[in-house]
Amino acid sequence: MTAPLIDPFARAITYLRVSVTDRCDFRCVYCMSENMTFLPKKELLTLEELDRMCSTFVGLGVEKLRITGGEPLVRRDIMTFFQSMTRHLDSGALKELTLTTNGSQLERFADQLYAAGVRRVNISLDTLDEKKFADVTRWGRLPQVLRGIDAAQKAGLRVKINAVALKGFNEPELPKITQWCAERDMDLTWIEVMPMGDLGNEDRLDQYWSLKDVRAEYAQHYTVTDLAERTGGPARYVRLEETGQKIGFITPLSHNFCESCNRVRLTCTGELYMCLGQEDMADLRAPLRAHPDDPSALEAAIRDAISHKPKGHDFDYSRQRADGQMSRHMSHTGG
């Protein structure tokens, strides 16, 4: 059982994204409904079960662990989980333990995260306008997030800003956000909005701002150089020569990046999604709970799931409709 995880297309699976909760203190319009019904506590993996699950994946060759949600830092006692994962960093089996967050709780937890071995955090932030921030997050407070960013940098964490490109919303802010990140020595990645969850009043076609257009906008103001650099994720990078900044583009719609996919996603209920843009999943909670003292059943279930990983997703807006739309919310799968 020590052989690495290889999918049907000869891709080694070395990256696990783990949602530790479906709950969040924001209600971002492209991620959640305003009035969400959250999962009963008994359906969620306990922190101890999350440890066993992640440790099994590490034992099978996963080298990068990204903790997501919902908002991961709102889960009670979550720091005990981060602290338990430190042993895999110390052993060298795990190369990176990292986090995607909305930043709201970083003022409280930045120092503890650094002590647990986290060195990088991705912070979701789509606008620097306080009113627009309140609109897009529904419940969010921009000053609280900015204090969290201050705390993260003070603690020694490398910060990357993830901004969802939203047509008619943050288009005019592209120069301001870019300059702000440059001044604070933070990387910036733009992400195309994906057709996830109940669209409700937020029509993804109206929101969709192609990153081809974002790149063209940059080219009007900067000298843009394409970089060959890849970081093991889906982003492609350019450098703005005037500032030296590295800007990332995650383009699930205008440019499918599936050929190099090395990741799978575990929900807080133990469902393993082999692809963000497909509905197929494997239930890993059942073998985890049925055989608490025998890891072989869980290992076998993981290997079977990886053997069904598809070649790629089906997201497509090209026909002026949200083809490939997933019924589950982004917060369920993990951001």
Residues at the binding site are: 17, 24, 28, 30-31, 66, 70, 100, 124, 160, 194, 258, 261, 263-265, 275
Annotated binding site for S-adenosyl-L-methionine: 30, 70, 124, 194
In the structure encoding, which two tokens stand for residue 297, read together? 């059943």
Burial classification of residue 255, based on how many CB atoms lie within 10 Å of its CB (0-12 exposed, 13-18 middle, 19 or more buried): middle
Annotated binding site for [4Fe-4S] cluster: 24, 28, 31, 258, 261, 275
Largest CA distance in the chain: 60
> At CA 155, angle to CA 153 and CA 160, rounded to 5?
35
Annotated binding site for GTP: 17, 66, 100, 160, 263-265
Measure the CA–CA gap between 227 and 244, rounded to whole angstroms: 12
Give the sheet arrangement for strand 15-19, strand by strand: 224-227, 236-240, 245-250, 187-192, 158-165, 120-124, 96-101, 64-68, 15-19, 263-266, 271-273, 281-283
Cα distances from 217 to residues 94, 152, 175, 299, 318, in angstroms, run 39, 30, 9, 47, 21
